[in-house]
């Protein structure tokens, strides 16, 4: 039935499908509808923001060639990405592609502490030009010096970032404009380093009760 529709109509329908359903449709029509397959791939080029979860990872693991099709079509135009409980092995597959327009990343890792450090280094390699970052779980601020274009950083859902000289590492992000921390840092003596950042104009402290203290400069 979809084959009877022109390209514009097919793209309009594909637009309303989530990633899992697009993958399923691409798989189901492979070899039977080349035009629909091409339009699904083209829709990935047009889409700027993606959310990937366990269901997507499982499908890509079952059919790794689909991941290559997906990344080869979306890598040049992707701007925003949310990865839910992603594994290091899956991230490694992304190293073969470049993401020149990728600016905003939010992620949760499905790894142990040692693997988490390697996963974060892999993310730096894949997405070197990030402007906005929100990690969930274990995070070491020392890696921020690799993200030289960072403008917005949200660490309210991270932990262990304040176990050492975290403020000095954050302060190395000279272009940072917005910073969100959790209330575990309130007793810190390191805020002078943050206040001296030349571009910072918004500092937000989030408590365990989701109460926010915002300082505008």
Q: What is the pLDDT of residues 138-195, one digit of tens each?
A: 888 889 999 999 999 999 998 766 667 788 899 999 999 999 988 776 655 667 888 8
Let me know the angle formed at the C-alpha of 35 by 34 and 38, rounded to the nearest 5 degrees: 85
**What pLDDT is recorded for position 207?**
76
- What digits encode the pLDDT tens for the residues 60-91? 999 899 999 999 999 999 999 999 999 999 99
**What pLDDT is recorded for position 113?**
61
Candidates 151, 172, 88, 162; CA nearest to 125 is 88
Q: Residue for token digits 């889409």?
A: 47
Domain boundaries, the chain: 1-47, 48-130
Indicate the pTM of the whole model: 0.90
Q: Residue for token digits 């502490």?
A: 113
């Amino acid at each position: 039935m979809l084959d009877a529709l022109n390209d514009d109509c097919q793209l309009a329908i594909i637009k309303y499908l989530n990633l899992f359903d697009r993958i399923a449709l691409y798989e189901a029509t492979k070899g039977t509808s080349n035009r629909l397959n091409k339009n699904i791939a083209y829709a990935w080029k047009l889409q700027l923001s993606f959310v990937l979860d366990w269901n997507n990872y499982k499908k890509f693991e079952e059919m790794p060639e689909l991941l290559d099709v997906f990344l080869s079509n979306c890598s040049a135009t992707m701007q925003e990405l949310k990865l839910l409980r992603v594994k290091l092995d899956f991230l490694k597959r992304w190293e073969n592609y470049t993401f020149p327009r990728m600016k905003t990343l939010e992620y949760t890792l499905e790894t142990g502490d040692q693997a988490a450090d390697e996963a974060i280094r892999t993310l730096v390699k894949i997405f070197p030009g990030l402007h906005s970052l929100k990690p969930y779980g274990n995070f070491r601020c020392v890696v921020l010096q690799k993200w030289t274009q960072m403008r917005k950083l949200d660490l309210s859902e991270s932990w262990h970032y304040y176990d050492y000289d975290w403020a000095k590492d954050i302060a190395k992000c000279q272009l940072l404009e917005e910073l969100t921390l959790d209330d575990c840092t309130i007793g810190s003596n390191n805020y002078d380093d943050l206040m001296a950042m030349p571009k910072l104009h918004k500092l937000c402290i989030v408590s365990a009760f989701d109460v926010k203290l915002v300082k505008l400069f």
